[in-house]
Structure 1
Amino acid sequence: MKISTKGRYGLTIMIELARNYGEGPIPLKTIARENNLSEHYLEQLASPLRNAGLIKSVRGAYGGYILPREPKEITAGDIIRVLEGPIALVEGIEEEEPAKQALWKRVTEAIKQVLDTTTLEDLINHDKDDPLDGYMFYI
């Protein structure tokens, strides 16, 4: 499983909105500029995030995007699934021998567990108390 720029930049959008939660809408132009990313590409990512109900658009001169729920209610897994699809380390494991199937399933479940228990709140508070501390990311 490889997370593409869709997942990585989508997570960037969501983290920026979480950092500014409750302070009003944030334009994608601001997020793009502050993170040295393409505004056009972020606009493409905002559409599926909006359709999934993970962000809400606010129109007008002071418009932009906001989170419709608190950062503690949205997980990295929610975001990655919308932008990348189902989380699976290996496809077609049905063809593998049972021992290999079990291994790939365990690794996939471990990845899902990390993504589904890491919230946007955890990510914006990362420097204060690292919720990912203790996990090995050498997969």
Structure 2
Amino acid sequence: MKITTKGRYGLTIMIALAKKFGQGPTPLKSIAKEHQLSELYLEQLATPLRNSGLIKSVRGAYGGYMLAKEPKLITAGDVIRVLEGPITLVEGIEDEEPAQQALWLRIRDAIKDVLDQTTLKDLVEHELDQPKDAYMFFI
């Protein structure tokens, strides 16, 4: 399974909205600008996130998007499944030798566990724990 820009940028949207949870709607334009992403592409990603009930939209001059539930109740797995589909590692696994099949299933289950145990709240807190003034060295 390869996570595409759909999954990566979808998580970017969701983390940005989690940071602003309880503060009203956030325009995608501000998220796009902050992360140097295409607003049009983020709008395409917002539609399935809204249709799945993970986010809701507010129209008007002060409109935008907000999480439909608390950040601690939305997992990275929820977002990835909406945007990327089911989490599978190998296609046609039923045709593999039993030892290989067991390996692929263990790897898939480990990935699912990480995604399903990591909430948006966890991701926001992790980002806040990172030093803001990290040194950059050039040679």
TM exceeds 0.5?
yes
Deviates more, 1:120-129 or 1:55-64: 120-129
Deviation, 1:68, is 1.3
Size of the alignment, in residue pairs? 130
Deviation, 1:128, is 5.4
5+ residue gaps, structure 1: 131-139
Question: What does 1:5-84 correspond to in 2, within 5 Å?
Answer: 5-84=5-84
Partner amino acid, structure 2, of 1:27: P
Which 4+ stretches in 1 moved above 3 angstroms? 127-130
Q: Which residue of 2 aligns with 1:137?
A: none
Matches of 2:127 and 2:92, distance apart in 1: 39
Q: Which residue of 2 aligns with 1:105?
A: 105
5+ residue gaps, structure 2: 131-139
TM-score, structure 2 normalization: 0.91
Identity of aligned residues (%): 74
Deviation, 1:31, is 0.4
1:85–1:22 distance in 2 versus 1, CA, 3 Å: same
Cα RMSD of the aligned pairs, angstroms, is: 1.1
Partner amino acid, structure 2, of 1:55: I
Matches of 2:79 and 2:36, distance apart in 1: 21
TM-score, structure 1 normalization: 0.91
Secondary structure at the counterpart of residue 126 of structure 2 = coil
Choose 1 or 2 for highest CA Rg: 2
Matches of 1:97 and 1:127, distance apart in 2: 42
